[in-house]
Structure 1
Amino acid sequence: MEDNRIIKIFLDDDPIPFAEFSPPIKFVFDTTKIPDGKHQLKIVAKSTDNVEGIRTIPFEVRNGPAIAVVGLKENETVNEQISITINAYGSERKDIFVVTGSETPKAIPAWVWALLIAFVAFALFYLIMYWKPDLYKSFV
C-alpha cells in the first residue's frame, strides 16, 4: 500500500507552503526571518485516504527589542497632558550588562499602600487599646 500522507505548512495567507513533510516530523522554525507582529501558522495534513485536516495556530513574533510603555494603556481615553515613559531593551549583546535602562520604572502599586496603611492603623489600634502605664512600672 502506498503511503501518500503529507503535511504542508503555510505561513499567514501565503498560498504556497514553505515546507512539505511526510509524517511524523520535527523541524526548527526560524522566526528571525519573519517580521515582528501577529502571524498564523496553517498546517494541512492529508491522510492515506486523501482526507484533509487543517489546523491554524496564531502566534506573535517579537525578535526585536521589548518595548515597555508606562503611562498609556491600549484603547485608553486620555485628555490634557500625560506623562509617558518608553523603554526598549533586547538581548542582542550578551557580553555586557547595562544597568541603566534595563528596568522600566513603575509606581508602587495601590495595594501595597493599602496594606501599609492597614498595618499602621492596626498597630495604632493595638497601642491605644492595650497600653496601660501601670504595666510599665520601673523595678527600681
Structure 2
Amino acid sequence: MSDKSTIFIFIDEDTRPIVEVQSPVSFELDTRKLPDGEHVLKIVSKDPSGKEGIRKIPFVVRNGPAIAIEGMKENAVVDGVLPLMINAYGKGDQKSFLIDGSETPQSIPWWVWTLIIGFAGWALFYLVRYFSIVQ
C-alpha cells in the first residue's frame, strides 16, 4: 500500500476518470476535446486510509469562434423589429492570432456623443467670448 493519495479526475458526470494518478501531480487539461459550453471538473482524492475528498470546479469552454452581438443583451425583453449586428471570428491557435475579423465593429455609445457635444459647446462658447472681447 502506498503512502500517497490517489487522485481521480473526472469531467462532467463521467463515471470513468480521465486520469488516475498518485499525488502530487501536474496535469494539462486539453479543452479542445470538449464541446463549447459549461462543464465541471471533479477531482476525487483517496488517502492511504481510504478516506475520500471531492472538489468540483465549474468552468466554461469556448474553443469555437467567438460570437459578438450588438443590439440585444442577455435576458432582454424585446418587441418589434430589432436591428442586430453579429460578428463571429476564430481565435486561431495558441501560436498565432488571427487579426482578420477579430475586431467587432460597434456603434458609438451615448456617453461618447455627450462628451463630444459638451466639448464642442464649451469650445464654441469660449470662441464667441474671445471674439466679442477682441472687437
Q: What is aligned with 2:10?
A: 10
For structure 2, which runs of at least 5 residues remain unmatched after alignment?
none
**Which amino acid counterpart does residue 20 of structure 1 have in structure 2?**
E
Identity, in percent, stands at 51
Q: What is aligned with 1:124?
A: 124
TM-score (norm 1): 0.80
Structure number with bigger Rg:
1
Q: What is aligned with 2:71?
A: 71
- Tell me, in whole angstroms, the C-alpha distance in 2 between the residues paired with 1:58 and 1:41: 6
**Which amino acid counterpart does residue 60 of structure 2 have in structure 1?**
E
Alpha-carbon distance change, 36 to 113 in structure 1, aligned in 2, over 3 angstroms: same
- Tell me, in whole angstroms, the C-alpha distance in 1 between the residues paired with 2:45 and 2:69: 41
For structure 1, which runs of at least 5 residues remain unmatched after alignment?
none
Supply the RMSD in Å over aligned alpha carbons: 2.6
**Which amino acid counterpart does residue 54 of structure 1 have in structure 2?**
I
The number of aligned residues is: 134
- Tell me, in whole angstroms, the C-alpha distance in 1 between the residues paired with 2:92 and 2:57: 28
Deviations 1:1-46 (A, max 9, x none): 8415111111111122111111110121111111111100011112
- Tell me, in whole angstroms, the C-alpha distance in 2 between the residues paired with 1:91 and 1:53: 37
Alpha-carbon distance change, 69 to 48 in structure 1, aligned in 2, over 3 angstroms: same
Q: What is aligned with 1:56?
A: 56
TM-score (norm 2): 0.82
- Tell me, in whole angstroms, the C-alpha distance in 2 between the residues paired with 1:121 and 1:130: 14
Q: Is the 8 A contact 2:4 2:23 kept in 1?
A: no
Deviations 1:66-98 (A, max 9, x none): 111121221111111111122111034888966
**Which amino acid counterpart does residue 86 of structure 1 have in structure 2?**
I
**Which amino acid counterpart does residue 12 of structure 1 have in structure 2?**
D
Residue 77 of structure 1 aligns to a residue whose secondary structure is coil
**Which amino acid counterpart does residue 112 of structure 1 have in structure 2?**
V
**Which amino acid counterpart does residue 51 of structure 1 have in structure 2?**
K
Q: What is aligned with 1:85?
A: 85
- Tell me, in whole angstroms, the C-alpha distance in 1 between the residues paired with 2:91 and 2:107: 25
